[in-house]
Amino acid sequence: MVAGSSVQAAEENAGKPAVALRKLGKTGLKVPVVSLGTGPGQEVNVMKFAIAQGMNFIHTSVGYKKGQSIQNVAEAIKGQRDKVVLGLKITWEPDDDQAMDKALETLGVDSADVAFFNIHEADQVRDPKYRRGAERWKKMGKFKHIGLTTHKETAECLKAGLDEGFYDVIMPSYTLSMEEEFLPIFERAEKAGLGIILMKTHKNLTGSEFEVTPHYLATTGITTINRGVSSFADIKKMIEASKAPLDKQAGIRLRASAQVAMSGHCRMCGECETACPQGFQVADVVRCSDYYLEHAEYVETAYDTYRGLARTPRTDLCGDCNLCERACRNGVPVAHHIRRAETVLA
């Protein structure tokens, strides 16, 4: 079911990192097995502390916290760019040089190590403009490697990305409950030499997120777990969790509880959205309601994301349709989420 990946204990004695490193596929980069995403509430000093502990892969985006996150990253890496592996999410068109330059300028760097196209529709992943953009920006030295990050139609987007063949890294949202569906994808990615970064791994796993870490790290092909961490204590817990031995009995229990925990919660497959005859962004609305509103620290993100959606469903326009809810194989009360988002976030 799962296979151990090549763990390289960080053996550099000088300034010995507290966290193990793994190769990020064929990129030639080595990154820590637990790494920093940049979510809400992250202080610059917490990031600096993480980097000092060896958690030196940081992924950021211009969009997080209305631009505050990327500025915090810039501050945290100032004077130590050489110690950091930098991931940057591209939220603009693949020919928009100005946006790319502005993001790099904000970060105070000449280039990113990995740039991630942020795509949530498999058909869009196949659009040749992304390959063209990636090749052009690579030639211009804007980044060294190209990644694909996705959290909607996730499995299909990843498969499309693998078919395209030019990605070096994939970064899906993923939890233990998705293992059966995603393992063949991870196996294929590993075989093709791609690095795999997991994000949003704690979704609906409250209470077991650190215990589950060794099980994620033992999954085929996984390089690192990337998550926003807002306290020194959680940095330490993440690192400790990454060193914990694999407990097979705990694995059985965690997998079973992950399935139960995910039942009725969104897996971000996007099928509800595909079913919507009005083209409403149903899955994004469910994400805002189901995920963000369940975590106090993400309420602002929920608000911003919802308000940024171009086509939110409205109950007065939906009528009795309910095709989205009927399309959901995970039993998510989609109509309830639409109503809740409309009430709380609009």
Instruction: Indicate the residue among 190 and 290 with the shorter CB distance to ligand SF4.
Output: 290
**Under the criterion CB under 6 A, does residue 292 sit at the interface with ligand SF4?**
no
Contacting ligand SF4 within 13-42 (CB under 6 A): none
**Under the criterion CB under 6 A, does residue 318 sit at the interface with ligand SF4?**
yes
Among positions 323, 339, 340, 344, the unique one binding ligand SF4 when judged by CB under 6 A:
323
Contact pattern from residue 244 through residue 283 relative to ligand SF4, giving x for each residue in contact according to CB under 6 A and a dash for the rest? ----------------------xxxxxxx--xx-x-x-xx
Q: In the complex, what is the shortest distance from the CB of residue 100 to ligand SF4, in angstroms, rounded to a whole number?
A: 30
Instruction: Indicate the residue among 152 and 202 with the shorter CB distance to ligand SF4.
Output: 152
Q: In the complex, what is the shortest distance from the CB of residue 330 to ligand SF4, in angstroms, rounded to a whole number?
A: 4
Beta-strand runs (E) in the chain: 21-23, 30-32, 34-37, 57-61, 85-90, 112-118, 143-150, 169-172, 195-199, 222-228
Enter the tokens of residue 256: 């079973």
Enter the tokens of residue 102: 């502005």
**Under the criterion CB under 6 A, does residue 122 sit at the interface with ligand SF4?**
no
Q: In the complex, what is the shortest distance from the CB of residue 157 to ligand SF4, in angstroms, rounded to a whole number?
A: 13
Among positions 107, 205, 324, 341, the unique one binding ligand SF4 when judged by CB under 6 A:
324
By rule CB under 6 A, what count of residues binds ligand SF4?
25
Tell me the residue length of the chain.
346
Among positions 321, 339, 340, 344, the unique one binding ligand SF4 when judged by CB under 6 A:
321
Answer whether 40's CB lies under 8 Å from 228's CB.
yes
Instruction: Indicate the residue among 18 and 344 with the shorter CB distance to ligand SF4.
Output: 344
Enter the tokens of residue 161: 């990305």
**How many other C-beta atoms are found inside a 10 Å radius of the C-beta of residue 316?**
7
**Under the criterion CB under 6 A, does residue 334 sit at the interface with ligand SF4?**
yes
Contact pattern from residue 294 through residue 313 relative to ligand SF4, giving x for each residue in contact according to CB under 6 A and a dash for the rest? -------------------x
Q: In the complex, what is the shortest distance from the CB of residue 335 to ligand SF4, in angstroms, rounded to a whole number?
A: 6
Q: In the complex, what is the shortest distance from the CB of residue 160 to ligand SF4, in angstroms, rounded to a whole number?
A: 17
Strand partners, 57: 85
b/e sequence 193-224, b meaning 16+ C-beta within 10 Å: ebbbbbbbbbbbbeebbbbbbbbbbbbbbbbb
Of residues 266, 239, 254, the one with CA closest to residue 54: 239
CA-to-CA dists, residue 27 to 140, 169, 202, 227, angstroms: 18, 8, 27, 21
Of residues 333, 329, 256, 326, the one with CA closest to residue 290: 333
SS (H, E, C) 11-58: CCCCCCCCCCEEECHHHCCEEECEEEECCCCCCHHHHHHHHHCCCCEE
Instruction: Indicate the residue among 103 and 269 with the shorter CB distance to ligand SF4.
Output: 269
**Residues lying near ligand SF4 in the complex (CB under 6 A):** 266-272, 275-276, 278, 280, 282-283, 286, 313, 318, 321-324, 327-328, 330, 332, 334
